[in-house]
Amino acid sequence: MMVMTRFDPLREMISLREAMNRLFEQSFVRPLWRLDGEARPQLPLDVYEEEQGYIVRALVPGVKPEDIGLEVQDQSLVIRVNYPTAVEEGRQVNWLLHEIGSGACERVVTFERPIDAEKVEAHYEHGVLTITVPVAEGSRPRRISITAAEAERQPVTA
């Protein structure tokens, strides 16, 4: 099935802007390393769109469902995760390598189309959180059936 989309000359510029925003965020806003040498927790996401809405998948290995917070605000989904620490609180260790982050992490996903906040569902299995975010009924594409008028029958005279 071929999907027709309207040509948008700014789409490439927006994609470039999003790539630059991601690069800036990973480098300065949410760098992998803190100044004290400890690793920051990262919350990797996959987000894709289907006809009925959006699917968000988050990798949260080792995190209990009660340590995950989800919130819908306007057209955005806020995901908060508290990653457990590898070493008990107060215990002194000499880290040789510390790449697995711990502590709080937050990601916000803003959707292009209006979403139905009442129907958002989340499922957690094997360290993967899958969130189904349906779009609002009015913004969903819908098929429209076409009825044909019956052709008038003309008597043929010969």
Q: What residue segments make up the domains of the chain, in order of their start? A: 36-138
Whole-number CA gyration radius for the chain: 24
pLDDT at 34: 47
The answer to whether the CB of 93 falls within 8 A of the CB of 87 is: yes
pLDDT value, residue 119? 93
pLDDT at 134 over 90: yes
131 phi and psi angles, rounded to 5 deg: -115, 125
pLDDT for the residue 90: 80
Average pLDDT over residues 83-89: 82
Residues with Cβ within 8 Å of 146's Cβ and at least 6 positions away in sequence, in order, are none
User: Which is more confident, 145 or 81?
Assistant: 81
Can you tell me the distance from the alpha carbon of 20 to that of 15, in angstroms, rounded to the nearest whole number?
9
In the sheet that holds 103-110, the strands lie side by side as: 68-73, 76-83, 103-110
Lowest mean pLDDT among 49-63, 83-97, 117-131: 83-97
Reported pTM: 0.64
CATH architecture of the domain covering 36-138: Sandwich (2.60)
